[in-house]
Chain A
Amino acid sequence: MLAYDPSTNPLNNNDWAFPLLEILHIAGFAFSIGTIAIVDLRLMGVGLRKQSSAQLLKDTMPWTLVGLAVMLMTGPMIFSSDPNMYLHNQSFRFKMGALLIAILYNYTIHSKVAKSNPTGALGVVVGGVSVLLWVSVVFAGLFIAFV
Chain B
Amino acid sequence: MLLSFAQFIQSTAFFTALRGSGYVYPVILSLHMVIIALFGGMILMTDMRLLGLAMRSYPVSDVVNQFRTPKRIGFVLMITLGILMACCKAEEYYYNDWFRLKMALLVVVGLHALIFRRRVYSRAADLDHLSPLPAGAKLAAVISLVLWISIACAGRGIGYIEPPLDKIHAGLLYLH
Contact B67 A60 (CB under 8 A): no
Total chain B interface residues with beta-carbon distance under 8 A: 31
What is the bound-complex CA distance between A30 and B70, given in angstroms? 16
Summarize B's interface: helix, strand, loop or mixed.
helix
Q: What residue in chain A is nearest B40 (Cβ atoms)? A: A30
Summarize A's interface: helix, strand, loop or mixed.
helix
Contacting residues, chain B, for A29 (C-beta < 8 A): 36-37
Contact A38 B156 (CB under 8 A): no
Contact B37 A135 (CB under 8 A): yes
Total chain A interface residues with beta-carbon distance under 8 A: 35
Q: What residue in chain B is nearest A56 (Cβ atoms)? A: B55
Contact B157 A37 (CB under 8 A): no
Known contacts A41-B70, A47-B70, A59-B55; A30/B41 CB under 8 A: yes
Contact B152 A26 (CB under 8 A): yes
Query: Which B residues are within 8 Å of any A CB, using their own CB?
Result: 23, 26, 29-30, 33-34, 36-42, 44-45, 48, 54-55, 57-58, 62-63, 66-67, 70, 149, 152-153, 156-157, 160
Query: Which A residues are within 8 Å of any B CB, using their own CB?
Result: 19, 22-23, 26-27, 29-31, 33-38, 41, 46-51, 55, 59-60, 63, 131, 134-135, 138-139, 141-143, 145-146
